[in-house]
Amino acid sequence: MHIQVVDVSPQLAAQWLTRNTNNRPLSKSTVQQLAGQIQRGEWQLTHQGIAFDEDDVLIDGQHRLAAIVKAGVTVPLTVTHGVPRTAFTVMDTGRKRTGRDALALAGEANATHLAAALRGLHLYRSAPNSAWSGGSSVTSNDQLLNLLGEHPGVRDALHHGIALNRGCRITVTAATIGWYVTSEARPDIDQSDWEAGVVTGARLEPGDPRLTLRNTMLNLALGNAHRRRDDSREHLLYYLKAWNAWVEGRTIKLLRRSPNETMPRISSRSSLVPADSDAGEG
């Protein structure tokens, strides 16, 4: 086998793709994800590149080459010639490094929850009213690390998210995002009463937004047949609706999501409920 590093232009990538005569079906979503990484400058040269067999047929790297064509950017690739055709069956059979892995390797605690919360925060900011699933929702490992650098407060928010999850079964992702974005938008508000009320429900009157959110989440956790238990986007929508009512001093007895309802904006009302008073009255 012969291995070399080549700066692969979109034109060269397109030429090499014509040798792709015996490969697995091309995944458009994977190509889109890789092209996005290239365009954002996240591409890095590694030992993983493309490979041709003894007859110069492309047997590995079709997605990388297609992404170069789509991105329209030249990137360096490790190119291997003369790979035995029989090696095709063992290519790409290892486990892909996830966002959790990247964060854990960076020394972050609670890496699984942190990765999910960062991904959710990215989607909340970039596509709050779109489905948070499918290929378009994939966030690269570099994006997650960059997001954490831009929003270090997510680490602290995660501790509150975990506590809220334990108290009322809201997803950790939704609770973490909810805590972070409301704290970021309204640093003037002490949220300790909010957290205590949602977690325990102690001494709260019917209609208190904290109790309504708590009961809604617990009911969802019981597994109503027509709802998904782990829909973080839906949970976040309920969180923000209840939080806005709490801040504005409104009662709210029912949380529901209407078709095509957009994600609530964080309330900027000045008629705030003091942190040491009873929310939900009037």
Predicted confidence at residue 140, as pLDDT, reads 86
Predicted confidence at residue 91, as pLDDT, reads 60
Predicted confidence at residue 95, as pLDDT, reads 58
pTM over 0.75, yes/no: no
For residue 282, being part of any structural domain is answered with: no
Predicted confidence at residue 242, as pLDDT, reads 97
Predicted confidence at residue 102, as pLDDT, reads 86
For residue 266, being part of any structural domain is answered with: no
Segments in the chain below pLDDT 70: 88-95, 97, 134-136, 224-230, 270-282
Predicted confidence at residue 276, as pLDDT, reads 44
> Do 158 and 203 fall into the same domain?
yes
Predicted confidence at residue 146, as pLDDT, reads 92
Picking from 36, 56, 90, the residue at the C-terminal end of a domain is 90
User: d(Cα 252, Cα 269) in Å, to the nearest integer?
Assistant: 17
Predicted confidence at residue 136, as pLDDT, reads 66
Structural domain for 42, as ranges: 2-90
Predicted confidence at residue 86, as pLDDT, reads 73
For residue 68, being part of any structural domain is answered with: yes
> Do 110 and 225 fall into the same domain?
yes
DSSP 135: G
Q: Domain count of the chain?
A: 2
Residues in the chain, total:
282
> Do 143 and 207 fall into the same domain?
yes
Q: Is 258 exposed, middle or buried (0-12, 13-18, 19+ CB in 10 A)?
A: exposed
Q: CA nearest 159: which of 119, 192, 126?
A: 192
Q: CA nearest 122: which of 143, 149, 99, 98?
A: 143
Predicted confidence at residue 169, as pLDDT, reads 93
> Do 145 and 241 fall into the same domain?
yes
Do residues 124 and 177 make contact, with C-beta atoms less than 8 angstroms apart?
Answer: yes
Predicted confidence at residue 9, as pLDDT, reads 95
For residue 16, being part of any structural domain is answered with: yes
DSSP letters spanning 74-119: -EEEEEEEEE-GGGGGGTT-SPPPPHHHHHHHTT-SSHHHHHHHHH
> Do 16 and 152 fall into the same domain?
no
For residue 140, being part of any structural domain is answered with: yes
Predicted confidence at residue 275, as pLDDT, reads 44
User: d(Cα 70, Cα 56) in Å, to the nearest integer?
Assistant: 23
Predicted confidence at residue 125, as pLDDT, reads 92
